[in-house]
Chains A and B, each alone.
Chain A
Amino acid sequence: MTFEPRTMYEKIWDAHVVADMGGGESLLYIDRQLLYEVTSPQAFEGLRTAGRKVRRPDLNLAVADHNVPTTNRRGGLAAVEDEESRLQIATLERNAAEFAIPYIPLTSPRQGIVHVVGPELGLTFPGTTIVCGDSHTSTHGAFGALAFGIGTSEVEHVLTTQTLVQRRSKTMLVHVDGPLAAGVTAKDIILAIIGQIGTAGATGYVIEYAGDAIRELSMAGRMTICNMTIEAGARAGLIMPDEKTFAWLAETPFAPKGQELERATADWRMLASEAGARYDRTVTLDARRIEPMVTWGTSPEDVIPISGTVPDPAKEVDPERRARLQQKLDYMGLEGGSALAGLPIDVAFIGSCTNSRIEDLRAAAELARGRRIAAGVRALVVPGSGAVKAQGEAEGLDRIFMEAGFEWRDPGCSMCLGLNPDRLSPGQRCASTSNRNFEGRQGPGGRTHLMSPAMAAAAAIHGRLVNPGKLEA
């Protein structure tokens, strides 16, 4: 019997197959499920209707984030003014209590965005499987965990069986070689990758990211990369765990301690893809050529360097593509062929599961220190969790931001999606560190430009889109 060298994905997959169900389907064991208020109520209702139980409450964790207002958190549920939002959060609380699922209440100092809180607590481990009814579950792949978003019916399936019916994905290796240029961040790398392969470029694949540029990133940067993997259509993103990963995990409250940690770390070292392992597709990027990136359109693949110009419909020969391009430009209020640098903005949003960790806030604060935001601009800083907020305050970032005119808010998904009071008004243009620039994503009629925290902070200060590396004092 010969053993083919395996990729990290294949190792994790093999270790979690409970049964071959035939027809290419496998029953896959799920080590952790994260729950929040929007995509779980119907799953719990399904359990009640069928008279089913939660198999492993201790492998689930619930926290509200999408609907949560980012002010007056201490007021708890009573301070949620929107009646439907309050009911949805109350339903999560009630379901967690009824099914004995660990729950982080609104008033807890640990509350925050589920994909920020999970890793922070030490519930995201290499070699494990993690799911959540949210597409940005891919974030957790930064630790070498196989993590992916699922629908509500699948949430119910996991609650009941702690498994999912899955087909094995194809594998894609995305190699980002060479050092990054100064001022280029993880966000720019992932936007460049999506720009290159397209928003459906990785459909059916699990991506493994490798190369010097990925290895050099902090855990926060790696989470940014894996977070937006879903924007390329992939099932999941993975990064090989290394010393940075182990050091990060050792600091978390739920991490194993002492000998148990040594044993775990030894196991995690075994996860790396083996030499000679085959990938179905390989994509290579030269990190040295990646510039600070920004989106111009209504899909994350509509992305160019900040020094670039918006595509011109007049130069598009295919009539269908020309019409679609024109629609996007009309929605965004842009002229074909125009430069993005210099474009005036109304709002800057620094936050979301993509870019709300302490490293992101430090990068933005670096730009904001001693400066003022431009007149007429509203700028929000929304830490990803209570822990990030506390850390930011301990470092004095809150003062830097507030002195510069930024709002320093309570944790939550905030303006990433129009589900809580933080929304764009029709026609408003936003420099945003979030992950989706779909029409109406940040509020009906809102115009989103995706970018790094540094570029968003620079945009707030200048009142227009600008290369953060070229910001003058």
Chain B
Amino acid sequence: MTPFIRLEAIAAALPIANVDTDMLVPAKYLKTVSRSGLGRALLHGLRFDQQESEIPEFILNRDPWRASHILVTLENFGCGSSREHAPWALLDFGIRCVIAPSFADIFHANCLKNGILPVTLPRSEIDILLADSSHQNTACLIVDLVTQTILRVNGECISFKMDAASRDRLLNGLDDIDRSLGYKALIDEHEVAAMAAMPWRPFVSRARLDSLG
């Protein structure tokens, strides 16, 4: 995972509440067996018309926002389906940071697994950043995870909070699986104890499944 330390980039305003993951990546793009190449799928219904031509008015189809690495948006971003294709598409397009008043639970977790920084801010500060990211002259933001601040073009700073464990993982680009494998002895121990506590828990072999007919 690519670490997230500091990002100086164009931010795009997406002032829509409850952006669901079907909107972020429509179902027809879920047939891939790969993590990469989903950039075109991102917000497809907002970016392209039915002839697959760009909709010129949409912010991500305009300069300088074509090169956005930050998205500023509204409440409950990423609700609905658990599809990790949503953060994969954001990454493939170039988005490394999403700033919103609130996020859906699974999407938030999926961002952290992919080196995308989800920043939660009160609505009043979101409104300031939405205004900034709607205008070419103010759209450049500096998001710094070390100091946990967002620097605006006018020099003003907005602070944000993030739990220490997630922050540490993003700053260092750490893989969760390696860390969890470090607990192997405790997992082994738990498994033995659980077997004794819940002997009725079913294990499934292919043979037993096949025998059911």
A84-B31 contact, Cβ under 8 Å, with A29-B187, A134-B82? yes
The interface residues of chain A lying within 8 Å CB-to-CB of B164 are: 23
Chain A's closest residue to B86 (CB) is A151
Once the chains are docked, how many angstroms separate the CA of A441 from the CA of B75?
20
The interface residues of chain A lying within 8 Å CB-to-CB of B28 are: 418-419
Once the chains are docked, how many angstroms separate the CA of A121 from the CA of B26?
32
Task: Let me know if A419 and B200 touch, CB within 8 A.
Answer: no
A24-B45 contact, Cβ under 8 Å, with A67-B31, A128-B198, A204-B105? no
Q: Which of B6-14, B135-143, B203-211 contacts A (4 or more CB under 8 A)?
A: B203-211
Does A247 touch B at the CB level, under 8 Å? no
Task: Let me know if A123 and B202 touch, CB within 8 A.
Answer: yes
Does A402 touch B at the CB level, under 8 Å? no
| Count of interface residues, chain A, beta-carbon cutoff 8 Å | 89
Task: Let me know if A19 and B200 touch, CB within 8 A.
Answer: no
Does B131 touch A at the CB level, under 8 Å? no
Task: Let me know if A110 and B177 touch, CB within 8 A.
Answer: no
Task: Let me know if A200 and B76 touch, CB within 8 A.
Answer: yes
Task: Let me know if B206 and A102 touch, CB within 8 A.
Answer: yes
Chain B's closest residue to A18 (CB) is B190
Once the chains are docked, how many angstroms separate the CA of A127 from the CA of B87?
32
Q: Which of B108-137 contact A (CB under 8 A)?
A: 109-110, 113-114
Task: Let me know if A135 and B209 touch, CB within 8 A.
Answer: no
Task: Let me know if A161 and B165 touch, CB within 8 A.
Answer: no
Task: Let me know if A261 and B200 touch, CB within 8 A.
Answer: yes
Task: Let me know if B80 and A162 touch, CB within 8 A.
Answer: no
A151-B109 contact, Cβ under 8 Å, with A59-B203, A102-B205, A163-B180? yes
Task: Let me know if A439 and B23 touch, CB within 8 A.
Answer: yes
Does A391 touch B at the CB level, under 8 Å? no
Task: Let me know if B177 and A152 touch, CB within 8 A.
Answer: no
| Count of interface residues, chain B, beta-carbon cutoff 8 Å | 64
Task: Let me know if B200 and A267 touch, CB within 8 A.
Answer: yes
Q: Which of B170-213 contact A (CB under 8 A)?
A: 176-177, 179-181, 183-184, 186-187, 190-191, 194, 197-206, 208-209, 212-213
Q: Which of A39-47, A353-361, A451-459 contacts B (4 or more CB under 8 A)?
A: A39-47
Q: Which of A85-93, A303-311, A332-340, A362-370 contacts B (4 or more CB under 8 A)?
A: A85-93
Interchain CB contact (< 8 A) of B79 among A122, A233, A417? A233
Task: Let me know if A438 and B23 touch, CB within 8 A.
Answer: yes
The interface residues of chain A lying within 8 Å CB-to-CB of B209 are: 61, 102-104
Does A149 touch B at the CB level, under 8 Å? yes
Task: Let me know if A436 and B22 touch, CB within 8 A.
Answer: yes
Task: Let me know if A444 and B110 touch, CB within 8 A.
Answer: no
Not counting A157-B177, A426-B50, a sample of 18 additional A-B residue pairs whose C-beta atoms are within 8 angstroms of each other reads A25-B165, A39-B84, A45-B34, A55-B187, A58-B203, A84-B31, A125-B200, A150-B109, A157-B180, A162-B191, A233-B105, A263-B199, A299-B20, A324-B17, A418-B26, A436-B81, A439-B23, A440-B26
Which 10 residue pairs spanning A and B have beta carbons closest together? A23-B165, A264-B200, A153-B113, A84-B31, A41-B33, A151-B84, A151-B110, A200-B76, A256-B200, A149-B82
Sample of 9 A–B contacts (CB below 8 Å) = A18-B186, A22-B165, A88-B31, A128-B198, A199-B79, A200-B75, A264-B198, A417-B27, A436-B80
